[in-house]
Amino acid sequence: MRFKLHKNIILIVLVMLSMQGKAQVHTMYYLPVPQAHRLNPATQPGCDFFLGLPVGSSVYIETYNNSISFDDLFWRDPESNLIIHPLHPSQNPEDLLAKFSKENTFATNAYINLLSFGFRVRSLYFTFNATSRLDESFSFPGDLMQFLIRGNSNGETFDLSAFGINSTEYIEYAVGVSRQFGDQLTVGIKPKLLTGVGTLNSRNNNISLYTSYEEWILNSQMEISMSLPGVSYPLNENGGLDLEGEFLVDSSISNPSKWQTLLMGNLGFGIDLGAHYRPIDELELSLSVLNLGYIKWKNYVHNATLDGSFTFDGVEVSINDTSTNFLNNITDTILASLDFTGNSNAFKTFLSPSIYVGGRYFITHKLDVGGLTRIDFTPAGTQASLILMANWRPISMVGLSASYRPFGGTHQTFGLGASLRLGPVNLYVVSDYVPTSYKMVNNFPVPSSQKYFNLRAGLNLVFGCNERKKLMKDKPMYYIDEY
Amino acid sequence: MKISRILTFLAIVIMIVSCVKDEFNFDDLSKEVRLEREIAMPLIKGELVFEDINNESWDSLIITGGDTIKLYLIDEIEQTDTLPLGELIENLDLEYINLHHSFTNMFPVGVDVHLYLHDSIAGQNIDTIYLSQNHNEILLPPAEVDEDGLVIEELVQLREGVVEFDDEALDNLMERTTHIVFIINVPPTSGLVKILDHYLLSLKLGIEGKGAYTTTLDSNN
């Protein structure tokens, strides 16, 4: 049995679900929680065993855009005491347009832990985690906003190449092992099996629009690769997408046996690498390389290529045709000119790797300060940032971390993390973007100047955390009160 | 331990409260919107053969292959097309509009083109926009013919021009116009002309303008 699913609904859902963000909460790098091994596979949790139950043990959400915040859209006019917006008659829309860059991205990432555990065997520490990961991003060009708000003048060209969508959902099964070599060096490796659920990715976009009173010329090159579970694509005679056709969804996709086939059809592999080195007792240097890998998509695959030029030089009129509908004619003409070619070949998508290089200096065994350099390789380009950090463990059951990113203009952020251990229960919450100002909007606090938000929180069951007991058991003549 | 938890909780509450800058209630949101935009775009294009202009079927008389049709042109021939503006023009404050036009007339008769700004409520034309520079002259003169009365096609030229709407026309357009009536007019002509089946009148219109759109968003919109 099959039913029709409107193509616009698919598109909207995919856009809403989209991402490719920074996807890790760096404030957790030195926080004493088991999940810290996700940022450096060499990190060995302080407890000999931990268990992360489904969903509740670790939930990570991140959303950001690089263009506007609430404060850019709404503010109070001191004269009228009304809340106004950039398109209010008293405002200059150019002020709003200045907020948009050449490429503007809206992204959402959500990771949910399905199961995780880890245990120590002498100098080795093994971890396992299964995580559902959803990464989505949608980008649009600043010139689009210019076109929509300010309009177009004669002879003007708009660069629309920044249009793009990257949306991928997959499940990650990771087995990590970390080993201590003496007192100074710890290295870790975490190979990962990836099973893709669905993806929609655009790339190699080169789109421009020339406008004049004589003609509009749209040049567009774009490649879109997609693997949407259960979706049959409407194709034209060239094997390309037929935008006039219907996307069909196979309702049998909900059958569990079908899902097993689906998940094993889109396989990928990844790896994380890391190391900690302590040349002296007071200093620890760290390096980690995360998310090297790819997924090969084979199920319900389609690769669409748009390569064409469309010139609009007026709606064709017939003097005796009284049914002329200007807008419909334009729409029909544009749709008719979007000629896709395509194929159903398997394709690969690559993870967005990150590199962390950092170090911390132990002022006391309970307090350390340091810095972290983070380099993210995203489809939008390479982004590097410097993060200052402080970590405090006032008692063995409590860990607090703070981070501050001092450079980067709007990227200045202040992060906080806290970990609390009560018996076998370890609670933690951490965010890189703690708001520094709020507006009460309809009695609800809104971090009005924020463009970024991320949060990781969860609950672990931990055992074998009493360092004093362990040390007394192993070497009763020597004890360091460190977690 | 309990004390530290209480202190942490209090610290978070104090931090949030101390950082609150303002209180918003969206009932106070101004719903006035003003959007100032430029636009330059082609509007329409077309190629009209004799039947189009005369609004009658002459298929039986048009002979392909270069044969000619001989017509006595006595009555005025006029064809119109109407563009309803609907709500497009409402709330619009136009700064300027330039109407760019280009024509090719292969007919051995003159053709005039102009626009009526029509008020359908009052049932009258409130202004006439002439595309010709001189209102007393027709826009497109007859194509030149040879000694046999056939159009010398290599001499047929593209004629381009621009009409700038003056303040009065802009006011009429914004305040009362509900429809723009497009008129192609072949004035009364005496005598005999020869028309081949491939003769045509090509036309192309585009606009260049700037204006501001002002409206109020209410809960019903």
Give φ, ψ of B118 to 5 degrees. Answer: -110, 135
Greatest mean pLDDT range, A316-325, A402-411, B46-55, B111-120:
B111-120
pLDDT category of residue B72 using cuts at 50, 70 and 90: very low
State chain A's maximal CA–CA distance in angstroms.
104
Q: Which percentage of chain A shows pLDDT scores above 70?
A: 86
Q: Is residue B23 part of a domain?
A: no
pLDDT at residue A238 is higher than 80 = no
What are the residues facing A176 on neighbouring strands? A127
| Least Cα separation, residue A91 to chain B (angstroms) | 9
Which of A300-314, B81-95, B107-121 bottoms out in mean pLDDT, i.e. has the lowest? B81-95
Q: Hey, is the C-beta of B41 within 8 angstroms of any chain A C-beta? A: yes
- Model confidence at B61: pLDDT above 70: no
Q: Quote the pLDDT of residue A2.
A: 39
Quick one: pLDDT at residue B123? 81
CB contact under 8 A, B204 and A214: yes
In the structure, what pLDDT confidence band is assigned to residue A320 with cuts at 50, 70 and 90?
low
Convert the pLDDT of each residue in A252-304 to its tens digit: 777 777 777 777 889 999 999 999 999 999 999 999 999 999 999 998 888 98
| 3-class DSSP state of A26 | helix
Establish if B3 touches chain A: CB-CB under 8 angstroms. no
Give the pLDDT band (50/70/90) at residue A398: very high
Q: What is the mean pLDDT of residues B55-76?
A: 43
Decide if B54 touches A, using CB distance below 8 A.
no
Average pLDDT over residues A96-105: 92
Number of domains present in the structure of chain B: 1
Structural domain of B125: 33-216
A contact residues 127-166, partner B, Cβ 8 Å cutoff? 149-156
Residue A84 touches partner B, C-beta closer than 8 Å: yes
Q: Are the Cβ atoms of B33 and A87 closer than 8 angstroms? A: yes
The pLDDT tens digits for A164-203 are 998 999 999 999 999 999 989 999 999 999 999 899 999 8
Q: Is residue B5 included in any domain, yes or no?
A: no
Contact criterion met (CB < 8 Å) for A440 and B214: no
pLDDT band at B86 (very low <50, low <70, confident <90, very high): low
- pLDDT score at B43: 86
Q: Is residue B17 part of a domain?
A: no
CB contact under 8 A, B26 and A151: no
**Per-residue pLDDT for A153 more than 90?**
yes
What integer best gives the mean pLDDT of chain B?
A: 75
Nearest chain B alpha carbon to A434: B16
* Length of chain A (residues): 483
| Chain A residues touching residue B16 (CB < 8 angstroms) | 438, 445
More confident residue, B120 or A17: B120
Q: Is residue B162 part of a domain?
A: yes
* SS3 state at A10: helix
**Which three-class secondary structure state does DSSP give residue A242?**
coil
Chain B window 77-116: which residues touch A at a Cβ cutoff of 8 Å? Answer: 79, 81-83, 98, 100
Confidence of residue B68 (pLDDT cuts 50, 70, 90): very low
Count Cα atoms within 13 angstroms, Cβ side, for A421. Answer: 26
pLDDT bin (cut points 50, 70, 90) of residue A155 is very high
Extract the runs of DSSP E, i.e. beta strands, from A33-149: 49-52, 59-65, 75-76, 83-84, 103-121, 124-141
Q: What's residue A393's pLDDT?
A: 93
Contacts of residue A16, Cβ cutoff 8 Å, sequence gap at least 6: A108, A136
Length of chain B: 221
pLDDT at A17: 33
In a domain, B8, yes or no: no
The answer to whether position B164 is within a domain reads yes
Mean pLDDT taken over chain A: 84
Q: What SS3 class is residue A334?
A: helix
Per-residue pLDDT tens digits for B138-148: 888 888 888 87
Distance CA B31, CA B34 (A): 10
Report the residue of chain A nearest B100, measured CA to CA.
A213
Q: Are B102 and B163 in contact (CB under 8 A)?
A: no
Q: Is the pLDDT of residue A377 over 60?
A: yes
pLDDT at A457: 93
Interface check A80 vs B, CB under 8 A: yes
> Looking at residues A134-140, what average pLDDT do you find?
91
Tell me the whole-structure pTM to 2 decimals.
0.77
Q: Which of B2, B27, B28, B158 to mutate to test the interface with A (most CBs of A within 10 A)?
A: B28
Closest CA of chain B from A337, distance in Å = 17
In Å, the largest CA–CA distance within chain B is 112
**pLDDT-based confidence at residue B18 (cuts at 50, 70, 90):** low
- For residue B184, the one-letter residue type is I
B177 occurs within a structural domain: yes
Range scoring the smallest mean pLDDT among A350-364, A423-437, A456-470, B178-192: B178-192
pLDDT band at A481 (very low <50, low <70, confident <90, very high): very low
For residue B168, the distance in angstroms to the closest alpha carbon of chain A comes to 23
Candidates A69, A73, A148, A317, partner chain B, best to mutate (most B CBs within 10 A): A317
pLDDT at residue A381, as a whole number: 77
Average pLDDT over residues A56-73: 88
Residue type, B122: A
Nearest to B20 among A93, A213, A440 (CB): A440
What part of B 196-215 touches A (C-beta under 8 Å)?
Answer: 204-208, 210, 214
Q: CB distance B30–A212 less than 8 Å?
A: no
Work out the number of other CB atoms within 10 angstroms of the CB of residue B195. 23
Strands A164-181 and A185-211: antiparallel
Q: Name, of A152-161, A256-265, A406-415, B177-186, the range with top average pLDDT.
A: A152-161
CA of B180, closest CA in chain A: separation in Å?
14
The reported pLDDT for the residue numbered B27 is 83
- Whether chain A has a CB inside 8 Å of the CB on B179: the answer is no
Of B25, B37, B41, the CB nearest to A442: B25
Mean per-residue pLDDT, A92-96: 91
Residues 5 through 64 of chain A touching chain B, CB cutoff 8 Å: none
How far apart, in whole angstroms, are the C-alpha atoms of residue A434 and residue A443?
Answer: 20
What band does B218 get if pLDDT is binned at 50, 70 and 90? low
Whether the per-residue pLDDT at B101 is higher than 70: the answer is yes
> Cβ–Cβ of B39/A74 closer than 8 Å?
no
Q: Which of B19, B205, B206 sits opposite A437 (nearest CB)?
A: B19
Give the model's confidence band at B110: pLDDT under 50 very low, under 70 low, under 90 confident, else very high. confident
| Residues with Cβ within 8 Å of residue B64, at least 6 apart in sequence | B197
Q: Which of A24-33, A138-147, A243-252, B122-131 has the lowest mean pLDDT?
A: A243-252
pLDDT given at position B14: 62
Least reliable range by pLDDT among A10-14, A35-39, A214-218: A10-14
A318-345 mean pLDDT? 67
Residue B221 forms part of a structural domain: no
